[in-house]
Amino acid sequence: HPPEPEAGVSATSAPGAILFVSADTRGYLGPCGCSENMRGGIARAAFQVREARQGTLPVLYVDGGNSLFGETTLKPGQVPQEELKAKALADAMRLMGLAVRATGPLDDTRGADFRQGLGLPEVADGAVKLLPAGSRKVAVVAADSPAQFVAASARARAEGADFVLGLLDAPLEEAQKAAETPGLSVDVLVATRSATEMSGEQNRLVKASVPVVAPQSKGRSLVRVDLSYAPKPGRFTLQKGQADLEREVAALEQRTALLDKEINLPGIDPKLKALKQAKRDELVARRQALVTAPPASSPDVNGFTVRFVPLESGLPSSPDAQALVARYDAEVGKLNLAWAKEHGQDCPVPAKGQSAFVGNEPCRSCHEESFPVWEKSKHHHAWETLEEVGKQHHLNCVGCHVTGWEQPGGVCRLDKVAGREDVGCESCHGPGSAHSDEPSADNIIASPGEAVCVTCHNPENSPHFDFATYLPRILGPGHGKPVDAQPPGKPADAPKPAKP
């Protein structure tokens, strides 16, 4: 697909420009879909950029880097999938008319040659990329140290930049320190890498002499910078008078988060859920209108505003970008399965004295009364939920939908999953060979705690997980409760849950 035209870039009379910035995408084409109302997706991002280009202002899309991969090293079996995904992300960025991107360690997982082979426009650390934006010039400078930033920003001004966007390969806290470096001449500084995989859960803006921005990781939000031009060129200042709007956006964000938690409650009444979902959709629409409306500006001031555009589940997707994602989904499962058949290795045997995984059937011989409860739970349908969306051979998904994935004595090959599908007994109680041979409370986890659950019910896959709320949904007569017990809600009699 050719890049979409950058509407108005050559229109020197335009009264401003719009910049979109993505960063810290970590190889995500979209959310996993394990919970409802999950943010993110390159197709939703593409729609936002395309929609802005329907207007008269120049629109520039910039990527801050750390976007192509989620890890700096890969196991051999991950390589086919992750390379294919990186190529799909690159194609989507091209489709969005990417002006330039910086690079970070999560872009070079497969080496600089692979990254450069994707053919995306890049700005190296310490370099300057000057971009026309109507009657002004926007410079994008990249760096991995404060000293490098100072030199690059000075060069950008010398080359005629009116507005300088800084991309620092560092977490927010380091970027804040860099923003205070004497001699730094950037207007906005974007921290393009979260400190850890799970530390980029929130959009964060620190207003100082140089505003510092850290977008939510894994492609869940875009940064939007609106520029307004005065009749004469001059230095840009962060526009005042945005406090009321920011407070309203924050309030809508809080109300939406509360509704998300309620909508995802296990066993919620379907009618109540539908009502809450409708209210959530209304709040999202109100917030979307606020974060995309042209900001109020003073005609005699070169000003800018910084806002986040959360890519909510109810927002439209670009059909062309969504087609790229669908093509990836269709191809990657076949690719992974073929690789497993040709190159796959079985899991190592457990260390001496340690148990191996044996599957559910040996458990049934002594714990028959537990199975009716398990068979009506979501755990029993975990594999089915992947099959329903064609992701049963996606390496990012399979580990939490089978038992004993990549564990000693477990299953390490996609072509040998049979008999280990679903979240079985051993997913929570641990490998059971020793217990099956000699039943004892000393060789099994009789009462798994929250630490076991959160290996899969983590902030990414299950952001609304609450141990005390969720645990009763998998307990029942013969499974954590006396056989003659009838717990409230009777989870064993609950209807089969809809796919996540």
Mean pLDDT, range 471-499, rounded to an integer? 65
Q: Is the pLDDT of residue 303 over 90?
A: yes
pLDDT band at 464 (very low <50, low <70, confident <90, very high): confident
> Do 305 and 398 fall into the same domain?
no
Higher pLDDT, 3 or 392: 392
pLDDT band at 310 (very low <50, low <70, confident <90, very high): very high
Local structure of residue 381 (DSSP, 8 states): G
> Do 200 and 85 fall into the same domain?
yes
Tokens of 422: 């679903």
- Boundary of a domain, candidates 305, 321, 337: 321
Closest CA to 210 of 227, 240, 188, 195: 188
> Do 307 and 410 fall into the same domain?
no
Return the pLDDT at 500.
Answer: 38
> Do 302 and 382 fall into the same domain?
no
Q: For the segment 320-351, what is each residue's pLDDT rounded down to a tens digit?
A: 999 999 999 989 999 999 999 999 999 999 99
Any domain includes 220: yes
Return the pLDDT at 2.
Answer: 40
- What is the CATH number for 73? 3.60.21.10
Mean pLDDT, range 433-439, rounded to an integer? 93
Going from the C-alpha of 330 to that of each of 9, 322, 323, 393, 434, the distances in angstroms are 37, 12, 10, 10, 40
Handedness of CA 318, 320, 326, 332 (dihedral sign): negative
Our measurement of the distance from residue 105's CA atom to the centroid of its chain's CA atoms, rounded to an integer in Å, reads 17
Average pLDDT, the chain: 90
pLDDT band at 12 (very low <50, low <70, confident <90, very high): low
Q: Is the pLDDT of residue 218 over 90?
A: yes
Where is mean pLDDT largest: 33-42, 164-173, 245-254, 271-280? 164-173
Domain with 97, as residue range(s), is 16-242+295-321
Any domain includes 445: yes
96, 3 contact by CB (below 8 A) = yes
Any domain includes 117: yes
Q: For the segment 98-140, what is each residue's pLDDT rounded down to a tens digit?
A: 999 999 999 999 999 999 999 999 999 999 999 999 999 999 9
Any domain includes 102: yes
Cα 314 from Cα 394, distance rounded (Å): 24
> Do 34 and 173 fall into the same domain?
yes
> Do 81 and 194 fall into the same domain?
yes
Cα 38 from Cα 97, distance rounded (Å): 26
The 10 Å CB-count burial string (b at 16+, else e) for 417-436 is beebbbbbbbbbbbbbbbbb
Return the pLDDT at 130.
Answer: 98
Cα 195 from Cα 178, distance rounded (Å): 16
Q: Is the pLDDT of residue 386 over 50?
A: yes
> Do 454 and 368 fall into the same domain?
yes
Cα 172 from Cα 308, distance rounded (Å): 15
Which phi-psi region, left, alpha or beta, contains residue 317 (left: φ > 0; alpha: ψ -120 to 50)? beta
Q: Is the pLDDT of residue 215 over 90?
A: yes
- Boundary of a domain, candidates 321, 337, 370: 321
Any domain includes 335: no
> Do 316 and 411 fall into the same domain?
no
> Do 79 and 207 fall into the same domain?
yes
Tokens 């499974």 appear where? 479
Any domain includes 331: no
Cα 118 from Cα 159, distance rounded (Å): 28
Tokens of 155: 């060069």
> Do 364 and 307 fall into the same domain?
no
Number of domains, the chain: 2
Any domain includes 301: yes
The predicted model scores a pTM of: 0.85
- Residue 318 backbone dihedrals phi, psi, to 5 degrees: -70, 125
> Do 317 and 386 fall into the same domain?
no
Which amino acid, residue 22? S
Our measurement of the distance from residue 254's CA atom to the centroid of its chain's CA atoms, rounded to an integer in Å, reads 19
> Do 421 and 317 fall into the same domain?
no
Any domain includes 60: yes
Where is mean pLDDT largest: 57-71, 290-304, 431-445? 57-71
Return the pLDDT at 9.
Answer: 44
Torsion on CA atoms 387, 390, 395, 401, rounded to nearest 10: -20
